[in-house]
Structure 1
Amino acid sequence: MSDKKFELSRRNALIGLGTVGLASAGAGVGTSAYFSDEESFEDNTLTAGELDLFVDYWTGANSEAIDGGTTGSGQNDGGVSAQYVLNDVKPGDSGKLVFCPKIVDNPAWLWAGSSGFTQYENDLTEPEAEVDDTGGDPGAGNGELADNIQVTVAYCEPSDDLEGSDPSGPEDFETVRELNNPEDYTLTDLLLELQYGYLLDGYVEEGGEWVPTDDGAYPASPDSDTQTGPCICIEWNVPTTVGNVIQSDSVEFDLGFYAEQERHNENPTSPYATGTTDDLYPPFDSNRALGMSIQGSGGSGSAEAEIHNATSGNTAFPFGNANDDSDNFPADQDVDFTATLDVDSNTASLEVLGSQAGGTDVTASDTDVTDGQGDGNALGSDTEWQNGGIPQTVDVAISARSLNSDTTTVKNLTLNGTSVSPDQLAASAGPEQTYLVLQGIDSSAGNTIEIDGTLNIEGDASGWSGIDGLVINWR
């Protein structure tokens, strides 16, 4: 995937949605081998298969927002071939990007991802200075554009109204299934998730209906002109309630796709996942069954302890409540937590001892981690253990994450009362994630798994987001 970014000009209200980098997998080559003996096994040929990723794309926006920028359509088979540059986006504007991957000609695990993004302040206009004091020219890391762009992500397909004709633009696609987009999901949220990679679901159309593939992998196409799996649509808009805080700001980012063979590869690892280079931190499978987190300042504007990235329920507030956006996680203070998986009862919980830092002790929970529901709430990217229940062993990834904090530290880590090695993780503003994977934990009948530790977030709490804090992923 290319690291080329968007180039953006400076206007009083603008947004650039960037150079869209689409990566391709390697193609197979043909090899011949001839065998013969007195039994006459003749003319035997072994030919390597092919796995080649193509991505068709369509991008668009209202014409006023484009203002000399770049939108369009085409097909990419490696490198950067698509640019999406909007030079004058204002509150009320909107647009759409469509990507249609084709994997020739073997099914594969397919990830969408991003190598990162940067927001720029580009100095402050007079109206913006009244509501924004971050400043800087270009002011890398100080812009607020991506924070104020609402996005919706869905699987989609060409509209039935086309009657077999090729799409001419993103407006010619209709939703097949909307993904679990949290309330007030922003471009920042999407890009941060994509930095760790999003494994796309394997769906194929049968009898006019989209159904899961047998192995869960993205289906193969016979050639680069035939769409077999669903497309991905990203719709965006800037709410009319957004004011001068985005004036003169800009954002650069990239998007990409990565395909990896499915055969003999039952447990793929995200190519986008990041961590330390130390062998103690192996890559963690992106297919998590259960996610837990403690956010420095969540989507509601206050610190949250949650399971399944739920927007309601499965969520608890150790400092304030969902209606008080001033109650962030306390800066530079130690707060203990306990994550528990009870195998016999199929329950999970995350307890946070907020009373240690002037808050209250709270517990977020899920009463059944095998039913495919977050107590009636969205699961986010989680799958739970729906087929056969909790397995005999589980893996756990514990992550310290930082976006705007000086340093996020997770320390004093123990598993069922025994210290792990290392017992401390730290991540600095970047964004950066540092994680520890505990593999092969006994989760057979009668066992309860308990992970204890201490979370400390350093810096100015007013700038923290849902990325600053702790994440515990189970698989």
Structure 2
Amino acid sequence: MNDDKIGLSRRKMLVGLGAVGVASAGAGIGTTAYFNDTETFEDNTLTAGSLDLFVHVDYSEDQGSYAQYSTEPGTFIDGNVMGGGDGEPLSIQVSDLKPGDSGEGEFCFSIVDNPAYMWMCGELIANAENGQSEPEMDDDDSLDEGELADAMQVTVSYCTPDGEKGDEIVSGSLAEVMLALQAGVPLSGDGDTGAALADRPAFEGVTEPFLDGEPNVAEQCVCFEWVVPTSVENEIQTDSVAFDFEFFAVQSRHNDGTHNPCVDETVVTAYDNDWKGQTLGNPTDGNVYTSVSFGQNQTVLSFAFADDGDGVDFLDTADYSSTNLPVAVDADADGTHDWQLIWQPNAGFPDAPFGYQPNNGGSYGATEALPAGFSAAKVGNTVVFGIPNSDINSTFRLLGYGSTGGEGPIAEVNVDPSLGPDFYSSANAIEFSD
């Protein structure tokens, strides 16, 4: 088709359009406005939602013929106080502790109005020697701190509201478990300890914390069990421990669950699968979350490796036989790293799989056991180091260099990873401050 067959020239088109315009104008004579209609929607409001966490507590302990104790039926924590309102924090004190004593607590959650990601946090407040009796002196020559936190064995696991145990979350000595809790332990709403950190199952919300006087709780609870083994001897006489733990609920909507409310600061570093142009035989993607928690007695460094779910795990020695994580620390932020803390399986360290190396003026010495007061643990895909506050300032620097031995990625915690790791100068390290 061409313009000739239409029979309308450009000039005729313009004239035609003009005629339409005149007709339209003529149609408007005698009117004062456009046709219109109005529908009104009045008294509109936007109301913010809420999230209120109630923790229902069922705790008991068994000290044989000496004492038995249980919390009152219906005990719950609202905010930080027992029963809400003007109550007091829930405080459980055990005296005259002896080998064979034990206790257990069940904590169930009512998250009112919104589903949420849950975290369990805690801190070992005191591990005191309190002097030594004559029998203890024969078994213990340490006067710096007590042995009770190392002697008590603790297991934290998922459980149902009726007390049926599920997957173990973390276990070990009280000192090891509280180290992990100070770094923050993410909880999964389906009780799966293998759930990924990001977008893990949330805990469902409820409309109200009680129904007909009974707790209205999420499907998953957390159980905390402790025991002083009968194999423990006089080294714990007169010793005492004090510890806190907390539960945090963070809304799951518009959130991926990776924010850790237990710690003071977090740096996120992506795995590097192209480190200086290397060809990798076994690459994988993910992030390492480096967190710092400043406690009353110790500073905790944690490195949580969150893999992409492809079945290859950064910290799994079955995937990477040479995987390791050295962490160089400039404890006083003066520009020079003072020592290294190392996690390296299969290395034969004196304190395997953890080690300590002092910086001897430009070279690191032989790997030693962790110094007195230092601690370390691996919980799932998280490596945690505890450092006495007397050995690290409130402002310090660190360099982390997670390596898989050449077959996989590296994860370097550094200001500018492209510069490469410098384990002596801390100019390019990440600085943290309380």
Corresponding residue to 1:317 among 329, 344, 347: 347
What does 1:27-106 align with in structure 2 at a 5 Å threshold?
38-64=38-64, 67=67, 71-73=71-73, 74-81=75-82, 82-106=90-114
Higher helix content, 1 or 2: 2
Residues 1:176 and 2:166 are matched in the alignment: yes
| Residue 264 of structure 1, CA deviation | 2.2
Task: Write the letter of the residue equivalent to 1:220.
Answer: G
Query: Whole-Å Cα distance in 2 between the matches of residues 176 and 380 of structure 1?
Result: 17
The residue aligned with 2:154 is: 151
What 5-or-longer segments of structure 1 have no aligned partner?
Answer: 1-36, 136-140, 160-172, 206-210, 297-302, 307-313, 337-355, 361-377, 384-397, 417-435, 443-448, 457-475
Residue equivalent to 1:223 = 208
1:319 shift after superposition: 3.8
> 1:201 is matched with which residue: 188, 192, 213?
188
Structure-to-structure mapping, 1:374-393, within 5 angstroms: 380-382=379-381
Counterpart CA distance in 2 for 1:115 and 1:217 is 24
Contact kept in structure 2, 1:204 and 1:219, CA below 8 Å: no
Provide the residue aligned with 2:223 in structure 1: 233
Match of 1:453 in 2: 423
Residue 286 of structure 1 deviates from its aligned partner by 8.1
Equivalent-residue separation in structure 2 for 1:146 and 1:67 (angstroms) = 21
User: Which letter does structure 2 place at the counterpart of 1:80?
Assistant: V
Cα separation, partners in 2 of 1:241 and 1:271, compared to 1, 3 Å: same
Change beyond 3 A, Cα 1:413–1:188: closer
Aligned residues: 302
Aligned counterpart, 2:269: none
- Distance (Å, rounded) in 2 between the aligned partners of 1:320 and 1:415: 21
Q: CA RMSD in A?
A: 4.7
CA deviations over 1:2-34 (Å, ceiling 9, x no partner):
xxxxxxxxxxxxxxxxxxxxxxxxxxxxxxxxx
1:266 and 2:256 correspond: yes
- TM-score of the aligned structures, taking structure 1 as reference length: 0.52
Counterpart of 1:146 in structure 2: which amino acid? Answer: A
Moved more, 264-273 or 67-76: 67-76
Once the two structures are superposed, residues 320-345 of structure 1 have per-residue CA deviations (whole angstroms, 9 ceiling, x without a partner) of: 4759xxx9645564797xxxxxxxxx
Aligned residues of 2:132 and 2:238 also touching (Cα < 8 A):
yes
1:334–1:229: structure 2 CA closer, same or farther, 3 Å change rule?
A: farther
Residue 156 of structure 1: how far off its partner (Å): 0.2
- Residue 139 of structure 2 corresponds to 131
Please state how far the C-alpha of 1:55 moved relative to its aligned partner.
0.1
Cα distance in 2, alignment partners of residues 114 and 321 from structure 1: 25
| 2:183/2:384 contact within 8 Å kept | no
Partner of 1:17: none
Question: Do the aligned partners of residues 264 and 60 (structure 1) sit closer, same or farther apart at CA in structure 2, a change above 3 Å counting?
Answer: same
Output the CA distance in 2 between the equivalents of 1:77 and 1:175. 25
Residues 120-164 of structure 1: per-residue CA shift (max 9 Å, x gap): 1111111011222334xxxxx6111111111111100134xxxxx
Deviation at 1:113, TM superposition (A): 0.9
- 8 Å Cα contact 1:66/1:89 also seen in 2: no
Instruction: State the one-letter code of the partner of 1:123.
Output: G
Deviations 1:149-202 (A, max 9, x none): 11111100134xxxxxxxxxxxxx111222254xxx111111111112212112
Residue 225 of structure 2 aligns to which amino acid in structure 1? Answer: E
Over the matched positions of the two proteins, sequence identity in percent amounts to 34
State the AA in 2 paired with 1:158.
P
Answer yes or no: is 1:190 the counterpart of 2:177. Answer: yes
> C-alpha distance in 1, partners of 2:242/2:391?
23
CA contact (8 A) 1:415 1:451 kept: yes
Residues 234 and 68 (structure 1), Cα distance of their counterparts in 2 relative to 1, 3 Å cut: closer
Mapped partners of 1:88, 1:188: distance in 2: 20
Does the CA-based 8 Å contact 2:118-2:187 persist in structure 1?
yes
Q: Which amino acid aligns with 1:198?
A: V
Task: Sort the Cα spacing of 1:92 and 1:194 in 2 relative to 1 into closer, same or farther, 3 A.
Answer: same
Match of 1:357? 365
Contact 1:294 1:304 in 2 (8 A): yes
Native 8 Å contact 1:105 1:220 kept in 2: yes
Q: Any conservation in 2 of the 1:269–1:286 contact (CA below 8 Å)?
A: no
Tell me the secondary structure at the aligned position of residue 122 of structure 1: coil
C-alpha deviations, 1:236-267, integer Å up to 9, x for none? 11122211110010011111111222222335
Secondary structure at 1:142 match in 2 = coil
| Structure ID, larger Rg | 2
Could you say if the C-alpha distance between residues 295 and 97 of structure 1 is closer, same or farther in structure 2, counting changes exceeding 3 Å?
farther
Picking from 253, 257, 260, the partner of 2:247 is 257
1:111 aligns with 2:112: no
Measured in 2, the distance between the counterparts of 1:71 and 1:51 equals 26
Cα 1:179–1:334, aligned 2, differ >3 Å: closer, same or farther? Answer: farther
Map 1:266-415 to 2 at 5 A: 266=256, 268-274=258-264, 288-289=305-306, 293=325, 305-306=342-343, 315-317=345-347, 319-320=349-350, 329=356, 333=360, 357-358=365-366, 380-382=379-381, 401-403=386-388, 406-407=391-392, 413=399
Contact kept in structure 2, 1:410 and 1:455, CA below 8 Å: no
CA distance in 1, matches of 2:398, 2:148: 38
Matched letter for residue 379 of structure 2: G
Distance 1:270 1:452 in 2: 28
Does structure 1 retain, via aligned residues, the 8 Å contact 2:150–2:173?
A: yes
Q: TM (normalized to structure 2)? A: 0.56
Q: What are the superposed Cα offsets for residues 417-458 of structure 1, whole Å, 9 maximum, x if unpaired?
A: xxxxxxxxxxxxxxxxxxx9658979xxxxxx96452599xx
- The whole-number CA distance in structure 1 between the counterparts of 2:386 and 2:115 is 33
- What displacement does 1:287 show? 5.9
Q: Tell me by how many angstroms 1:69 deviates.
A: 6.6
CA distance, structure 2, for counterparts of residue 401 and residue 247 of structure 1:
25
